[in-house]
Amino acid sequence: MIKPIRKAIFPVGGQGTRFLPATKAVPKELLPVVDRPLLQYAVDEAVAAGIEQMIFVTARGKASLEEYFDVAAELTASLKAKGKTAELAVLAETQLAPGRIAYVRQQEPAGLGHAVWCARLITGDEPFAVLLPDELLWSPEAPCLKTMVETYARLGGNVIAVLEIPAEQTHGFGIIDPGTVDGLVTEVVGLVEKPKQGTAPSRLAAIGRYILQPEVMTILAEGTRGAGNEIQLTDAMAQLIGVQPFHALTYTGRRFDCGDKAGHITANIALALERDDVGPAVRAFLAGIGTGD
Ligand code: UTP
């Protein structure tokens, strides 16, 4: 029987050093893309995929994440008194029902695999999703995790999202060794984290969305260190290959690496251009750059 995916882990314990000094006081995950925090896009994607419970793996200095997902009673009362219905609607639309969010702390930044393992007692014996909020996967018509859940419902096992990237960038990603291909679904016969230049088995890179079976937690519990002396999720996943079904689904929407400054700025511009309120002003500014005005 294929168990449904009801829970999603959001590792948000990273220090976000690439965004200092901003991230000294504001978690990277709360930096806005237009007017929504980065993390909200990942939560929206999880909700669209039918996820019931969001598990945030946080760390010291990330308390404002909990504030963000709380009911802001005073703010709501003040907006109501002023008749600000549009603003109230925005708050209501992003509010999750009580009990849908759980928080666990990652007590040391020991890597992505370690962050995922910190959630093991909440996921228990169920398969679960992992979403890295840094990766803004913008595909409102076919949200990435939703398409992965559909693939999982057909094939079971483990499903990860991949994107074909230029060969010169493979050393920065987890790369799959591909088996048989069926449309957008590729069988995974091997996985390697950050392969040395020229050694990557393909150009298909993992882009921060995973559906995993609970057995990966047992492997992570061994605490084996990999690249960067961190406990790597990729290394633990690699041990499931050949033991359980393992497939990669090629993502066809737009991706912005918002863990990186240029990617974050690009995401702001791209999403602003799609908006009726700010789009025209941003478009006019960009056109001005083009003509040297
Ligand atoms: P990054 O490699 O981007 O690290 O983590 P970072 O600390 O967030 O950012 P920089 O490089 O210092 O600017 C990738 C993802 O893994 C999570 C991060 O929160 C991010 O979602 N992560 C990483 C953890 O939750 N814990 C860790 O120990 C490491």
Q: What is the pLDDT of residues 42-75, one digit of tens each?
A: 999 999 999 999 999 999 989 999 999 999 899 9
Give the pairing of strands 185-193 and 174-182: antiparallel
Cβ–ligand 1 distance for 12 under 6 Å, the answer yes
Cβ–ligand 1 distance for 130 under 6 Å, the answer no
Testing ligand 1's pocket by substitution, the residue of 28, 118, 264 carrying the most ligand atoms inside 8 A of its CB is 28
Q: How far is the CA of 121 from the centre of ligand 1 (A)?
A: 21
CB 99, CB 180: distance < 8 Å = no
Q: Write down the pLDDT at residue 293.
A: 57
CA-CA distance, 1 to 264, in Å (whole number)?
41
Cβ–ligand 1 distance for 9 under 6 Å, the answer no
Between helix 85-94 and helix 73-81 the angle, nearest 10°, is: 150
What atom of ligand 1 comes closest to residue 108's alpha carbon?
A: 28
214 prior amide bond cis, ω within 30: no
Residues lower than pLDDT 50 in the chain: none
Q: Write down the pLDDT at residue 15.
A: 87
Cβ–ligand 1 distance for 250 under 6 Å, the answer no
Cβ–ligand 1 distance for 174 under 6 Å, the answer no
Cβ–ligand 1 distance for 127 under 6 Å, the answer no
What atom of ligand 1 comes closest to residue 13's alpha carbon?
A: 25
Cβ–ligand 1 distance for 119 under 6 Å, the answer no
Q: How far is the CA of 16 from the centre of ligand 1 (A)?
A: 7
- Could you give the C-alpha distances from 142 to 53, 139, 164, 224, in angstroms and in order? 21, 6, 18, 36
Read off the pTM. 0.95
7-259 CATH fold:
Spore Coat Polysaccharide Biosynthesis Protein SpsA; Chain A (3.90.550)
Q: Write down the pLDDT at residue 231.
A: 94
Cβ–ligand 1 distance for 46 under 6 Å, the answer no
Between helix 261-273 and helix 279-291 the angle, nearest 10°, is: 110
Cβ–ligand 1 distance for 226 under 6 Å, the answer no
Question: Which residue is closest in CA terms to ligand 1's atom 18?
Answer: 14
Cβ–ligand 1 distance for 229 under 6 Å, the answer no
Cβ–ligand 1 distance for 109 under 6 Å, the answer yes
What atom of ligand 1 comes closest to residue 133's alpha carbon?
A: 21
Q: Please name the amino acid found at residue 70.
A: D
Q: Write down the pLDDT at residue 292.
A: 59
